Amino acid sequence: MEYRLLGNTGLKISTLSFGGSSLGGVFHDISEAEGIRTVHVAVDHGINFIDTSPYYGVTKAETVLGKALREINRDRYFLATKVGQYADGVFDFSADRVTRSVDESLARLGVDYVDLIQCHDIEFSEVNQIINETLPALHELKSIGKVRHVGITALPLKVLDDVVRRTPAGTVETILSFCRYELNDTALLDSIPLMKSKGVGVINASPTGMGLLTERGAPKWHPASPTIQAGCRRVVEFCMECGWSIVELAIQFTVANPDIATTLVGTANPQNILDNIRYAETPLDPERLAAVMEVLRPIHNFNFTRGRPENHDAIVG
């Protein structure tokens, strides 16, 4: 497993990391015992960065992860969780609520501190509140050792860029972007120079576009347009005809970029995490990549957005 520095945090993290949403049964029902075993397998095979949120499964993911972490020495992993989103449509980025949220997460996770605390899906908040209230509250928690570093997450790149530009260097230490750096959408690349200039570590998530680039296909709730879904389905079928794994290519593509510290993958299946680790450790075949990108060319960088209107990305496609 390759390890990279996460911006200026000093954390050296695995290029493939464990996303805890699956432990909350976000995509489908899971076996808790299998989920716990998946965390152990991930850490035993080199993954040292684990990300979760109280929102995933409405605290279920943190609870299951906490059970798994009881059997793993604290110095073997870096742990990230989030504040601000607690159930579908339930957001509260006030200083009081995010402060209490951290304490609640620490109790569920069974740890004294988290290495990274993140404002979850800030596109659903007023940017001024994030800058003037939420981030200062989280830095207060950093000053007393409950969190080590502070970051933000969102789907739209516009709002991530906006907050980073409007705050002093070191205020936002990491960003977590999802569905904006994958085979069919690489728009995150436009934000990389800004993040590097501010020393912000870049975390990428959803290398398969929340199921778009999988044989199972996107779930019914997926926000991608029919055009995007059809284009992604074409490339999945193309890979099947060639005998290639689209998931393997998707993971290899994302971890190959040295400007992205890590890519999160979510699963509650031990074999799946082993497969994903093997994919990440296998070099990307440039000829396969070129063939896949040609199939995706008609929808490349087509996107979807969400959140408050002022935080939306411009829609392409």
Separation between Cα atoms, residue 26 and residue 217, nearest integer Å: 15
Half-sphere exposure of 247 (CA within 13 A, CB side): 18
Separation between Cα atoms, residue 151 and residue 116, nearest integer Å: 7
Is the separation of the CB atoms in 176 and 168 below 8 Å? no
- Any catalytic annotation for residue 279? no
Residue 119, H or E segment: strand 116-119
The residue written with tokens 């997460």 in the block is 105
Taking alpha carbons only, the member of 76, 175, 168, 191 closest to residue 123 is: 175
What residue spans of 85-206 are helical by DSSP H? 95-109, 127-129, 135-143, 157-166, 192-197
Which one of 3, 55, 56, 77 is the catalytic residue? 56
What residue spans of the chain are helical by DSSP H? 32-44, 60-69, 95-109, 127-129, 135-143, 157-166, 192-197, 226-242, 246-255, 270-280, 286-296
Separation between Cα atoms, residue 138 and residue 232, nearest integer Å: 39
Residues 200, 116, 276: CA angle, nearest 5 degrees: 85
Separation between Cα atoms, residue 310 and residue 124, nearest integer Å: 10
The length of the chain is 317
Residues serving a catalytic function are 56
